[in-house]
Amino acid sequence: MLYEMYWNQHMSSTEICNIFHYPSIANLTAKVFKYLEIPSKNCSQSVSENILMGRTEIITTGFNYKDDYHTTWDNKQVYLRSSYETDFANILDEQQTPYEVEALRIRYFDTQQ
């Protein structure tokens, strides 16, 4: 059942822990999955799947560039990844121009596989 939820239903470890009221996401994948011989997703797989499934929590620490959430002139929250994006967003806000940030996501696939 855990394999089905994790791999076929594309649920995250966090979602599975919440369903079963399991207290530790790290223990779920490192201990429970290992004991049951359920392979864990690597970081790239998890991030891609989270984006495709609409689970887009953005981690905002540990980067070497300016990044921050920004509230647009029409009161939308957007995530900006550089001082250049912030400067441009401020210009668009001054002109009250509607805009979105990273609204379109295109899944990468390897044509050789």
Q: What is the pTM of this model?
A: 0.51
Using alpha carbons, select from 59, 51, 56, 50 the residue that is nearest to residue 6: 50
* Domain carrying residue 43: 2-52
Q: Is 28 within the bounds of a domain?
A: yes
Q: Among 6-15, 52-61, 91-100, which is the least confidently predicted range?
A: 52-61
In degrees and rounded to multiples of 5, residue 79 shows phi and psi of -110, 120
- Residue 29 DSSP one-character state: I
pLDDT at position 59, please?
Answer: 54
* Domains contained in the chain, number: 2
- Quick: pLDDT tens for 14-60: 899 999 999 988 889 889 999 999 999 887 788 788 888 887 655 54
Same domain flag for 45 and 71: no
d(CA 27, CA 36): 12
- Residue 33 DSSP one-character state: H
